[in-house]
Structure 1
Amino acid sequence: MDLKILWMYHDLLDLYGDKGNIETLRYRASKRGIDVVVDTCTLQEERNIEDYDIFFLGGGADKEQTLIYKDLLARKESILKAKQSGTAFLLICGGYQLFGQYYLDQDGQKIDGLGIYDYYTESSDRDHRCIGNIVVEANIHDKNVTVVGFENHGGQTKAVSNPFGKVLVGHGNTFDSGFEGYMDVH
């Protein structure tokens, strides 16, 4: 069995070492006897997103998010088709923000999102960030699981209709929401 992962903008959106997320996926799959194929795709490169099991989009600073935005927007129809056909989307940091309605940066500049999801993200001031270990209780396929990770973000993501899980340790989507991420259950 193969697991095909498309790593988008690997050369631009890898702010906090998203290669580690890819390596973790590869490692966990190998422990289950699953071979992993990782293809990369960056600006103006073509890939059929529907050919992949997982679409991975990592984090980047505001500058990098602005650089990839037009290219990502041009792929919106393909992204929606892939989503409908069953491709899973793992969106981290800036990638997560870009799939929402908008991102308001620290300078008050509004960066429109793809509008695929209803949430939006607004940056906190430069002196306040959510940084540290995070422990989340998530319900996946009617089974409660504990997920451990690390968060480092100033963005405060709001209007999340279906969070990935409840924060047990750390911050999550905002300083005080008590929830982390978004999970599309369709």
Structure 2
Amino acid sequence: MANQIQENSILEEEGELIGTRIREESEREEERATEIQEESAMGKEKLAIHTVNIVVAVNESQESLRACKWACKHFLADHTNMGQSYNFTLVYVQPPVCVSSGPAYIFSGEVVHMLEHEEVRNTQKILKRAMDICNYYNVKAKTLVVTGGNAKEKICEVAQKKGAHFLVMGSRGHGPFI
């Protein structure tokens, strides 16, 4: 009988120990689940706060419009799925109006104004085509027109000023990602 009481006492102690261990493990699991939720929430906040700046250089070429379409279709889908926001800027470098003055050509101010107006209309057409692509893919884009200067230098300046994470442009037959 004393042995049975001692066994019961031992079983009760073991039961209490097992119960205590189970409670401790359960509490640890709950704490870890809470930590995971907090880490997940913090991760989402970090992603939501981070804004990806994308600059897409466009011109009248089909290559630049294909690059714009690619950026809208593939690139942005990847970043918005990760909860990141983005700034999408279409940049066009408007060439200066070419007015050659010399003995054979003398342009009046009216002709120069007409040529400048035509260049503005051409710029609007190019940007409209690019914006149509963006609208098709539900991409909110801003446009920026830069005048004068070397196109490659101006595009790089814009990318730097905008803090671009990515610069997307057509390849002009040189292959992708030069």
**TM-score bracket for this pair, using the shorter chain length:** under 0.3
TM-score, normalised to structure 1, is: 0.23
Structure having the larger proportion of residues in strand:
1
State the structure with more CA Rg: 2
Higher helix share: 2
